[in-house]
Structure 1
Amino acid sequence: MTEEKVTLKGSGLTIEQVAKVAREKAEVEITSEAMDRIVAGRNLVFEMAESDVPVYGFTRGVGLNKDRQVVARYYQDYNRNLILSHCVAVKPEASEENVRAILLARLNTLLVGCTGIQPAIVTMYKDFLNHEIHPVIPERGSIGEADITCLSHIGLAMIGEGEVFYKGERMLAAEALRRAGLEPIVLGPKDGLAIVSSNALAAGEGALLLKDIADLIDTADILYALSLEGFKGNVSPLNEAAYKVRPLPGQAYSAKKVREYLKGSYLWLPGVNDTLQDPLSFRGSCHVHGSVRDALEFVLRFMDYQLNTSDDNPCVLVDEKVMFPCSNYEVTSLAIGFEMLGLALSHLSRNACFRTIKLSSPKFTGLSRFLTPADTSVIAYGTIQKTFTSLDAEVRHLSNPVTVDYYSLAGEIEDHASNMPIVVQKTAKIVDNICYILGMEAMHAAQAIDLRKATRLGKGTKAAYDVVREEIPFLEKDRNLTVDIQKAYEIIKSGKLLDAVKKAMTE
């Protein structure tokens, strides 16, 4: 567990902080000003409880049952039933790091102060994170108009029912609360809806995914640079002047980084490359990677809104002393953004596959077929193309949009949906596949560099090459490449390669 705490106030939460809490188990604390807003919202709820004003999910039911009255003496039973009736999600279960991100995302939006939830529940979110109590949350079943079917399992744990992981051990929620010295929550007016009605599942998982995608693009730039050295590629497409003429931000940034990674490389020597133009998969890689960067900027903007504003329905405004129905749970812009990211990543994936195929082709490289060290006795990378192209086919399939596939539900009054959790989860699978694909590109690039006997590598590419060779030796004789592929995947997925290059660039 990291010693640094993350302070929450309902604003300013970043994806880097989400990753710190989710993956490094940083503890969280809440500002007194944020808790004051929670108390004020709760006081307004009790004021309205004594009035005759009908309020959705509070003095009236939810969904089609919005016409059913909820009387004060049944608040606890009604809210417990609301939690239980919404526990309808199915496996797979969210990982513990995803659960932490989900808890954090919901906690910060509660602190905006537009919910009216009781302060004890807000404190319970914090306690769950700091005591490492992670509710078992099935990931599938949400249509993205608030993740009610999944987040209800958090409420289940808070009232001492269902299962959780406590410091890594799976057990009944009641037992985990007992061990942590916590009391189960007694639900009151509006509490059930406040727990279940947010987009925290998609937001938490999506925030972690955006951090991974940012790292993935940086890694893709590094491996493109490494492949250029293995390919003995033409560096003219990296010329800074081209990006001043056409200053698209993403591609200009990627080109700048690739130039930095290749600083000191033999590729900059005069007369190295005798081809006028390389294949598009090499010539335009910075432009393709830049498209992913541009898409990412769009999604980061809307993720910032999602993490730091209220998506509650009904909306509680303390100063105006009102509580009214709204559609702030609507996340179509964010869902569409993740769909765009999936499409952009599919271009990056396909481009990497074509670069890797070209690295095995003598007519482009001047090296041996399939990068074999011995034409007549070693097959080398003659079969591996099937693996990375198969994974790319999955990427292509996963990049198809799903956000427009929805039904009219709840007596046909809920006739729009975003499917954002599905969009986020399929984009996460795209990223995982690309980690394998980039890993296999790294294997080819290092093999080509060795066959070419290229010893003068760039500052960044030399660090990347060394990481690859620490795990995967030169392919001198045929061996079980499944083992090599997994090792390559792990140095990409873990960030080991990216970290090594970043360190080298600062030395």
Structure 2
Amino acid sequence: MEADAGRKSVTFGAGGTTVEMICAVARDAAEVTIAEDALAGIEAAYDCLVRHAEGGQAIYGVSTGLGAAVDTKIAPSSGPSQYRIPRARAVGVGHFVEPDEVRAMMAARVARFCLGYSGASAAAVGALRDMLNRSVHPWVPMTGSIGEADLPQLAHIALVMIGEGRAVLPDGTAVSGAEALAAAGLSRPTFGIKDGLSLISSNAASVGFACLVLQDARRVFDAHIGATALSFEGFRANIDPLDPLASRLRPSPGQARVAAAIHSLVDGGDLMKPGAARRLQDPLSLRCAPSVMGAGWYALEQAWLAVELELNSSDDNPSVIANEDRVLPTGNFDPTHMVLAFDTLSLALARLAAMAAERMMKLMSPGFSDLPRFLAPAEPGSNGFSALQKTIAVLAAEIGHLALPMPFAVTPVADRVEDYASLAMSVVDKTARLVEKLRYLTAIELIVAARAIDLRGPVALGNGAGVLFRKIREAVPPLDVDRSPSEDIYAISDMIAAGSLVEPLLEVLHRHDSAS
């Protein structure tokens, strides 16, 4: 299929992939192609698998049953016998994932197939690619995976590939899997001897979803840098803690980079002048922002690295290593390292939220800011942002709650054979909800800080801060009279989500970025 004019293209090869590539397929509808080296590896692994199966080797899911039924011998077979595997495991419940989320899951599975260790047939891999390129989006319920391979989510995707299950057409119409394939001009593939298992025995659903969460988290983090810089401007804070010397004295992870990023935004403004700060010692939510936000940046980098490790390694059980002529049972479907990285990221982002809430409360307090209470308009009886404090408080509380780690002891399943679970999908899902709430909180800080700047009178903002302030004012007018701030918050939140608000101003933050 030829790409539409101007459509992006992503090529998955044997050398691996990146978070950005998955996001491009998921959110920019980039066309997926499979590199020649990847196709050769897929075919070599399948041929190796067939040889071992024909030689009588016991191969999990090929010549044996699955889970607790591993003691059941079956005859290796292609076609309908492999169709049974996703049918029995499409047990998801709960809300259905969004189109970009299911695209990310599908893209992650194609990318890992291209590493050449799954034993899937070229026909099955090509069929999954074609579903992406023709916008066949299966209905996938979010809940059901315990994180030791995302069997339910991937099974719901595989059902559509064989003409069953449910899918959504590009116009939003819900149809059967068979109708979706027909509308896209696709036919169901004949499965090879491991295709049913290969399509579902992976944590590609949680890994693909994690790519989107990381992109969102990074955009929120960028906006959080901008919000902090505007709070420095609105508070007329002391910029000494941003001095590079402070970071050299205690080089905690990310501190120097974040300090430099905030400093770059306020550079060129009045805050750089001697005596510009109103206080010698500002509240810790301003003074310690570089170290706390630096820890957050480091946590984001580590989560990014963990996800890319998953994208670029095999999690199949069994794996097929053609150049070693082996079919190897593994436990590589367990992504505990990624789960721990996301738990840490959530805890770090919750600390950012707590500091942001305090900065806003300080800006609204005359005793700290020397500005009108709640930053209210001058008209008698005006409320300003007084009620908005409640929204700030509940967002900070909910973020803190979502940051709590998932349980590490889970009810054993599969006749107690599967007696441990990473709960990867659940962890990634709650991190996504946390990031969304942090995006709203950050949007509020941008609005509150901009209002404080309005009330300061004529001050020269830093060059980057000035650009950011003007962007906010283009979307949100000054609070000259009381009005509902909800639409303003949504407007700024949407700009953050699109990555269009602050990213272009943060070259210092992203230069030589190891997570890019």
The TM-score normalised by the length of structure 2 is 0.94
Name the CA shift for 1:89/1:191 in 2 (closer, same or farther; >3 Å).
same
Name the CA shift for 1:396/1:505 in 2 (closer, same or farther; >3 Å).
closer
Q: Match of 1:225? A: 229
2:94 paired with 1:91:
yes
Q: Match of 2:514? A: none
2:187 paired with 1:194:
no
Summarize the alignment of residues 158-169 of structure 1 with structure 2, pairs less than 5 Å apart: 158-169=161-172
User: 1:410-440, CA deviations, whole angstroms, 9 ceiling, x for partnerless residues?
Assistant: 1111111100111001001111001111111
Give the Cα separation in 1 of the matches to 2:240 and 2:331. Answer: 51
Question: How far off its partner does 1:324 sit?
Answer: 2.4
SS at match of 1:497: coil
Question: How far off its partner does 1:146 sit?
Answer: 0.3
The percent of aligned pairs where both chains have the same amino acid is: 36
Give the Cα separation in 1 of the matches to 2:470 and 2:504. Answer: 9
Stretch of structure 1 that moved more, 122-131 or 160-169: 160-169
Q: Is the 8 A contact 2:16 2:115 kept in 1?
A: no
Structure 2 residue identity aligned to 1:396: G
Structure 1 residue identity aligned to 2:335: V
> Unmatched 5+ residue regions in structure 1?
none
Summarize the alignment of residues 45-60 of structure 1 with structure 2, pairs less than 5 Å apart: 45-60=49-64
2:162 paired with 1:132:
no
Give the Cα separation in 2 of the matches to 1:400 and 1:504. Answer: 32
Q: Match of 2:513? A: none
Q: Is the 8 A contact 2:136 2:167 kept in 1?
A: yes
Structure 2 residue identity aligned to 1:253: R
Question: How far off its partner does 1:504 sit?
Answer: 13
Structure 1 residue identity aligned to 2:333: Y
Q: 2:277 aligns with which of 273, 277, 281?
A: 273
Q: Is the 8 A contact 1:102 1:203 kept in 2?
A: yes
Question: How far off its partner does 1:376 sit?
Answer: 2.9
Q: Is the 8 A contact 1:373 1:451 kept in 2?
A: no
Q: Match of 1:475? A: 479
2:306 paired with 1:284:
no
Q: 1:76 aligns with which of 76, 79, 84?
A: 79
Q: 2:113 aligns with which of 99, 110, 122?
A: 110
Q: Is the 8 A contact 1:115 1:314 kept in 2?
A: yes
Q: Match of 2:443? A: 439
Give the Cα separation in 1 of the matches to 2:160 and 2:446. Answer: 44
User: 1:295-351, CA deviations, whole angstroms, 9 ceiling, x for partnerless residues?
Assistant: 122222221110111100011111222212110101000001000000000000111
Q: Match of 1:383? A: 387
Give the Cα separation in 1 of the matches to 2:439 and 2:379. Answer: 30
Q: Is the 8 A contact 1:460 1:505 kept in 2?
A: no
Structure 2 residue identity aligned to 1:137: V
Give the Cα separation in 2 of the matches to 1:38 and 1:262. Answer: 52
Question: How far off its partner does 1:50 sit?
Answer: 1.7
2:396 paired with 1:392:
yes
Stretch of structure 1 that moved more, 281-290 or 171-180: 171-180
Q: Match of 2:180? A: 176
Q: Is the 8 A contact 2:443 2:489 kept in 1?
A: yes
Give the Cα separation in 1 of the matches to 2:495 and 2:168. Answer: 28
Q: Match of 2:149? A: 146
Question: How far off its partner does 1:134 sit?
Answer: 1.3
Question: How far off its partner does 1:465 sit?
Answer: 0.9
Q: Is the 8 A contact 2:53 2:59 kept in 1?
A: no
The TM-score normalised by the length of structure 1 is 0.96
Q: Match of 1:422? A: 426
SS at match of 1:127: helix
Structure 2 residue identity aligned to 1:185: P
Name the CA shift for 1:505/1:375 in 2 (closer, same or farther; >3 Å).
farther
Give the Cα separation in 2 of the matches to 1:337 and 1:454. Answer: 45
Q: 1:44 aligns with which of 30, 45, 48?
A: 48
Structure 2 residue identity aligned to 1:64: A
SS at match of 1:319: helix
> Unmatched 5+ residue regions in structure 2?
511-516
Q: Is the 8 A contact 2:26 2:101 kept in 1?
A: yes
Stretch of structure 1 that moved more, 48-57 or 86-95: 48-57
Question: How far off its partner does 1:168 sit?
Answer: 3.6
2:362 paired with 1:344:
no
Structure 2 residue identity aligned to 1:383: A
Give the Cα separation in 1 of the matches to 2:417 and 2:315. Answer: 19
SS at match of 1:185: coil
Q: CA RMSD in A?
A: 1.8
Stretch of structure 1 that moved more, 167-176 or 210-219: 167-176
Give the Cα separation in 2 of the matches to 1:503 and 1:250. Answer: 15
Question: How far off its partner does 1:375 sit?
Answer: 6.5
Residues matched between the structures, number: 505
SS at match of 1:139: strand
Question: How far off its partner does 1:502 sit?
Answer: 5.3
SS at match of 2:79: helix
Stretch of structure 1 that moved more, 86-95 or 497-506: 497-506
